[in-house]
Amino acid sequence: MKKKLLSAVLAAAMVLSLAACGKNTPASVETPASTDTTSTEVSASAEETKTDEPDARGLLNGKFVDTRHITVELYDRNVDGGTEAGNNAWTKWIQEQMLERYNVEVEFVTVARWTEGDDIGNLLAAQNAPDICYTYNYGQIQTYANMGGVLDLAPILEENKDLVPSMFDWLGDAVIYQDLDPSTGTLWAIEGKRNEICRINTFVRKDWLDKLGLKEPTNKAEFEAMLVAFKDNAETLLGADASKMVPYSISYDVGWRAATLIESFMDPDITDKEYYVNGYDDRKFTENGTKEAVRLLNKWYNDGLIWHDFAEHSGSDDTTEDDMIKAGFVGAFTHNYDYPFRNGKDSINATLAAQYGDGAKFVAVNCFEDKKGGYNKYSYSNTGDRKVFFPATNDEPIASLLYLEFMSQAETVQYLQIGDEGVLHTVDAATGAIVLQAPDEAHHDYYQNSGKNIDMTINCNGLRLATPELTTLSLAFSYSDVDPEDVKTAIAVASKDAQIPPTPSVGDIQAETEGTDLSGKRDQTYDKAVVASVADFDAVWDAGMAEYLAAGGQAIIDERTAAWDATYSSDNLN
């Protein structure tokens, strides 16, 4: 009897656990809040205009008569001390506003920031992708489109242009139709805009320079001499930790973490066509001059001036290098133009100041001269950034367009970026600049999981205030716990001689969906070439480049060349 009972219980337990699995809905999906309160307003406003008939799209005075429901992708950065990505004061505000203005319910679907491509691919394959998706990678959207997974936006925009005036104002035809394929007339994605175009800087430890009586380096020779001085004076600078000295630190992503050096080796007078043809790879792998830049890195590596183990720490979550920089073992590095200022009290500069006093900090310098004597480098392009697309499963394209319209409005973006005065920002009395601050405990729900909520303002990346003047003025004040003067310097250094990359509109490049692991091969070649012996450098670089080109790199270059020639008669856009 006992045995019978036991087995019945066990079987029942298994049934239950299996049933529980079946019911498993994605935990990250959030349903909109406060539907009750707003539904009354909706019926009230509908009553006022009840004499009018809704149009064929179900809209009455720009608002749906029946409540529509859309799902929207949102990056989840899993921030330490942050709020739940899909459920916080900001998402609730967006949901309320969309319901109130357009009678559209918004549901956020969060995907992990660093695996967003994988996640969206899986959701698409499961016919379960959010109605509005965004990504930085156009090749990915092209891949989905080839498989029939993406809606063509061209006819949708054509028929509903009247609904999205703010979007056309904000982005303009050139950006909206940047990805229009001239031969097929399809538009798989709408590009966004980047409102802060500074891209990259090289930083050096100011207090170390002062301690050794050195000036900020202004060219490669001085930079190298500085690294040697750091290395030779490790005892003075680091005392007992002298053996941990890293004069110049890079990561496995050499093409990014030495970009200022690489771009200084490029010809500043390169044509738009040459830039574009080699531009599939945003790490400048196949551009002219890159090999010589890496040869210099290789020399520095073999001279013991570069972090020796950089390539062994290759996980994207590996924080070893950041920890080294924050601990004060690193003399120089290259990164995002504002990298030492990010994250308030946890920022690199704030951490250094807390340990070694206010003088300890990284400052941006222009130290890699190009062949014309300037500091050639590339900023971001203002046009074309994140790309928004609607999966084929989107059955509310018009409601989705209204979401883009809402996100294109200046007030929406401004509120999401700087919030309420006193909570997220103050106004500088002297200049009128907006000074961002972290919310206090009582307003923790207003914490921005991404800087200035860029993950939510999906077609605007970077500060966008009511006027462009106020935006520029406030930029230096948009980092809490950081000296605004350091930010101003960083902006000036990053802008010096910075070229804006051309953004031609030549249609889809099929080869970009076909290469196998091109970014992997690029990084492998960069890494292996840096750590090779000086004698082996050429062989290692050439072999890696040959493999990259054979794996699809050359096909992309060829197709881009052909597409350019078919579209433009000159090698330059202007």
Q: Alpha-carbon distance 107 to 128, whole Å?
A: 13
What is the contact mask toward another protein in residues 61 to 100, using x (rule: CB under 8 A)?
A: ----------------------------------------
Specify the pairing of strand 59-60 against strand 362-365.
unpaired
Q: Does 4 bind another protein (CB under 8 A)?
A: yes
CB under 8 Å to 331, separation ≥6 — which residues? 204, 205, 208, 226, 227, 230, 237, 245, 246, 247, 248
Using the structure block, give the residue that is written with the tokens 């002297």.
Answer: 430
Read off φ and ψ for residue 169, nearest 5 degrees: -60, -50
Structure tokens at 155: 């006819």
Residue 301 beta carbon to another protein: minimum distance, rounded to whole angstroms? 12
Q: Does 113 bind another protein (CB under 8 A)?
A: no
Tell which one of 313, 342, 443, 444 touches another protein (CB under 8 A). Answer: 313
Structure tokens at 154: 């061209």
Query: In angstroms, what CA-CA distances link 424 with 88, 434, 437?
Result: 15, 10, 5
Tell which one of 84, 520, 533, 570 touches another protein (CB under 8 A). Answer: 520
Instruction: Specify whether the CB–CB gap between 179 and 387 falls below 8 A.
Output: yes
CB under 8 Å to 297, separation ≥6 — which residues? 250, 254, 258, 261, 306, 530
Q: Which is nearer to another protein, 423 or 551 (CB)?
A: 551
Residue 396 beta carbon to another protein: minimum distance, rounded to whole angstroms? 17
Tell which one of 8, 174, 221, 534 touches another protein (CB under 8 A). Answer: 8
Q: Does 309 bind another protein (CB under 8 A)?
A: yes
Tell which one of 1, 18, 44, 240 touches another protein (CB under 8 A). Answer: 18
Nearest one of 70, 68, 71, 149 to 109, comparing CA atoms: 71
Q: Alpha-carbon distance 480 to 487, whole Å?
A: 11
Q: Alpha-carbon distance 388 to 398, whole Å?
A: 14
- Bridge partners of 107, per DSSP, are 71
Q: Does 225 bind another protein (CB under 8 A)?
A: no
Q: Does 314 bind another protein (CB under 8 A)?
A: yes
Write the DSSP assignment of 252-286 as a string of letters.
S-HHHHTHHHHHHTS-TT--HHHHHHTTTSTT-TT
Q: Does 527 bind another protein (CB under 8 A)?
A: yes
> Which contiguous run of DSSP H or E holds residue 332?
strand 330-336
Q: Does 15 bind another protein (CB under 8 A)?
A: yes
Tell which one of 19, 47, 48, 315 touches another protein (CB under 8 A). Answer: 315
Q: Alpha-carbon distance 408 to 412, whole Å?
A: 7
Would you tell me how many other CB atoms lie within 10 Å of the CB of residue 291? 18
Within residues 388-407, the interface with another protein by CB under 8 A covers 392-393
Would you tell me how many other CB atoms lie within 10 Å of the CB of residue 20? 9
Q: Does 506 bind another protein (CB under 8 A)?
A: no
Of 69-77, 118-126, 257-265, 403-411, which part binds another protein (CB under 8 A)? 118-126
Tell which one of 94, 124, 197, 237 touches another protein (CB under 8 A). Answer: 124
Q: Which is nearer to another protein, 424 or 556 (CB)?
A: 556
Within residues 127-156, the interface with another protein by CB under 8 A covers 127, 143-144, 147-149
Q: Is 570 exposed, middle or buried (0-12, 13-18, 19+ CB in 10 A)?
A: exposed
Q: Which is nearer to another protein, 394 or 417 (CB)?
A: 394
Residue 271 beta carbon to another protein: minimum distance, rounded to whole angstroms? 31
Tell which one of 153, 311, 402, 476 touches another protein (CB under 8 A). Answer: 311
Q: Does 252 bind another protein (CB under 8 A)?
A: yes
Q: Which is nearer to another protein, 307 or 477 (CB)?
A: 307
Residue 22 beta carbon to another protein: minimum distance, rounded to whole angstroms? 10
Residue 9 beta carbon to another protein: minimum distance, rounded to whole angstroms? 11
Q: Which is nearer to another protein, 370 or 523 (CB)?
A: 523
Instruction: Specify whether the CB–CB gap between 328 and 255 falls below 8 A.
Output: no
Residue 27 beta carbon to another protein: minimum distance, rounded to whole angstroms? 20
Q: Does 112 bind another protein (CB under 8 A)?
A: no
Of 203-211, 275-283, 352-360, 544-552, which part binds another protein (CB under 8 A)? 544-552
List residues near another protein by CB under 8 A. 3-4, 7-8, 10-11, 14-15, 18, 117-118, 121-122, 124-125, 127, 143-144, 147-149, 244, 252, 308-309, 311-315, 318, 320, 392-393, 513, 516-517, 520, 523-524, 526-528, 531, 547, 550-551
